[in-house]
Structure 1
Amino acid sequence: MSDDYSNRSYGEIAVGFGEKPGIVVVDFQIGFTDPQYPLGGAPLVTRAVDNTAKLLEVARRYNVPVAACYTSYMNEREMPYWKITAVRETFRDDHPSIALDPRIYQEGYDLVVCKKGPSIFFNTGVSDYFTKERVDTVIITGCNTSGCIRASAIDSFSYRYRTIVPEDCVGDIEEGPHNDNLRDIGRRYVDVSNLETVLGQLEAWRQRNAG
């Protein structure tokens, strides 16, 4: 954090972990995770998928609510004005790239939504689900950090959730935008954390609520 930001009090107050966590998994569809597709297989995304799978294994064992999303459209007419050719050509309802990566998806446990914009919360019902589940702390995983993760983090903040983003559970195409956006949202809206710390927070939460 630069001195100019810190001198103006940015990032001084931690968000912290609240009374009940929920996890969102943003766009870990194979169009982003499988290198056979034009947007797939970026190293930071691959790392994030592997780490998110570890997080979710523990979270499901502790009965933490999980909401996952993929991005897909009926046709180009339905789409927003994406400037990314690969999104326009592959994120279609009839294209195999929209399937969720099996490493992060558990059928019958995860709430799954199709999103049409960058944020997992935008017109999807995820916030309603978390309200029913009494979630007050949202852990954000997925890709890409500079796009849909940032948008989801801002919406989570706007919905008044405590928001935690484990750095090694989110990924992007390039390291620069990944780091820049995490630094920026960490100054304003979220606690930027890591897998190990979040696993410890989940364990502490489980122990507090045991019995």
Structure 2
Amino acid sequence: MIRDHDEVYGRSLPFGERPALILIDLMRAYFEPGAELYMGSRDCLDSAARVLAAARSAGVPVIHTRVAFGPGGVDGGLFFRKVAPLRHLVDGGGPLGELMPEVAPGPGETVIVKQYASAFFGTVLASTLNALRVDTLVIAGVSTSGCVRATAVDGIQHGFVPVVVRQAVGDRDPRPHEANLFDIQAKYGEVWDEAAVLERFGPPTV
């Protein structure tokens, strides 16, 4: 007998006491009409900006990521060869590699440059979170089926509760977007609505 999905995967992980917010790859490449990676919508960017404002107001640590490759993309290996649009992010990526002004890093906020899907792979993210004694990683950014999912999976494997903000992540196609949110909730973390995350961050610190 095949068990009901909720019976098998119905457990949830608690939102911890020391969250951090990570904004994944909210670069112009995804929001510039005509760019190969353009997603066709900025809804997730607007939501991410609201979550960012709430995190800052509540004193929650904020980490940004962006993608950039060295000359020829040699540091991107097979991933660089597989995903053709990544060639636009060589040598910093120029304008397409810039983080969007709505979510631009503030003073003291860490910016991690990565080459692969997961924000943990080959970066200092895990050690930074451990130094901050973070237990919960709130995730916003793009894309849901790629870097968001990879970061959520690696997050739980590193011992952090991944909380993906539903409205603050986006993809080029609603089908992988919804399928990956479904899988993350089932097996790798929690998917929360923006309003619930804002409420959890609570009132601003004085």
TM-score, normalised relative to structure 1: 0.89
Q: What's the counterpart of residue 5 of structure 1?
A: 5
Provide the C-alpha distance between the structure 1 equivalents of 2:134 and 2:74, rounded to a whole number of angstroms.
36
Q: What's the counterpart of residue 14 of structure 1?
A: 12
Q: What's the counterpart of residue 70 of structure 1?
A: 66
Root-mean-square deviation (CA, aligned residues, Å) is 1.9
1:150 Cα deviation (Å)? 0.6
Structure 1, 192-201 or 97-106: larger mean CA deviation: 97-106
Query: Pick from 28, 32, 35: which aligns with 1:34?
Result: 32
CA 79–101 in structure 1, closer or farther in 2 if over 3 Å, else same: same
Provide the C-alpha distance between the structure 2 equivalents of 1:95 and 1:130, rounded to a whole number of angstroms.
27
Provide the C-alpha distance between the structure 1 equivalents of 2:92 and 2:188, rounded to a whole number of angstroms.
36
| CA deviation vs aligned residue, 1:23-60 (integer Å, no higher than 9, x gap) | 111111111122242112432xx111100000111111
Provide the C-alpha distance between the structure 2 equivalents of 1:76 and 1:138, rounded to a whole number of angstroms.
29
| CA deviation vs aligned residue, 1:9-35 (integer Å, no higher than 9, x gap) | 21x211121111101111111111222
Provide the C-alpha distance between the structure 1 equivalents of 2:49 and 2:139, rounded to a whole number of angstroms.
13
For the residue of structure 2 that corresponds to 1:77, the secondary structure is helix
Q: What's the counterpart of residue 121 of structure 2?
A: 122
Judge conservation of contact 1:42–1:172 (CA < 8 Å) in 2. no
Q: What's the counterpart of residue 111 of structure 2?
A: 112
Q: What's the counterpart of residue 144 of structure 1?
A: 143
CA 143–108 in structure 1, closer or farther in 2 if over 3 Å, else same: same
Judge conservation of contact 2:44–2:168 (CA < 8 Å) in 1. yes
Provide the C-alpha distance between the structure 1 equivalents of 2:169 and 2:137, rounded to a whole number of angstroms.
14
For the residue of structure 1 that corresponds to 2:75, the secondary structure is coil
Provide the C-alpha distance between the structure 2 equivalents of 1:107 and 1:36, rounded to a whole number of angstroms.
28
Structure 2: unaligned runs, 5 residues or longer: none
Query: Pick from 39, 45, 52: which aligns with 1:49?
Result: 45
Judge conservation of contact 1:38–1:86 (CA < 8 Å) in 2. yes
| CA deviation vs aligned residue, 1:35-86 (integer Å, no higher than 9, x gap) | 242112432xx11110000011111111111111111111233322232221
Q: Which AA in structure 2 matches 1:189?
A: Y
Q: Which AA in structure 2 matches 1:6?
A: D
Q: What's the counterpart of residue 80 of structure 1?
A: 77
Judge conservation of contact 2:28–2:100 (CA < 8 Å) in 1. yes
Count of paired positions: 201
1:169 Cα deviation (Å)? 0.6
Judge conservation of contact 1:80–1:117 (CA < 8 Å) in 2. no
Judge conservation of contact 2:68–2:97 (CA < 8 Å) in 1. yes
For the residue of structure 2 that corresponds to 1:173, the secondary structure is coil
% of aligned pairs identical? 27
Provide the C-alpha distance between the structure 2 equivalents of 1:158 and 1:123, rounded to a whole number of angstroms.
15
TM-score, normalised relative to structure 2: 0.91
Kindly report which structure 2 residues correspond to 1:163-178, keeping only aligned pairs within 5 A, or say none. Answer: 163-178=162-177
CA 94–111 in structure 1, closer or farther in 2 if over 3 Å, else same: closer
CA 29–158 in structure 1, closer or farther in 2 if over 3 Å, else same: same
Provide the C-alpha distance between the structure 1 equivalents of 2:64 and 2:58, rounded to a whole number of angstroms.
17
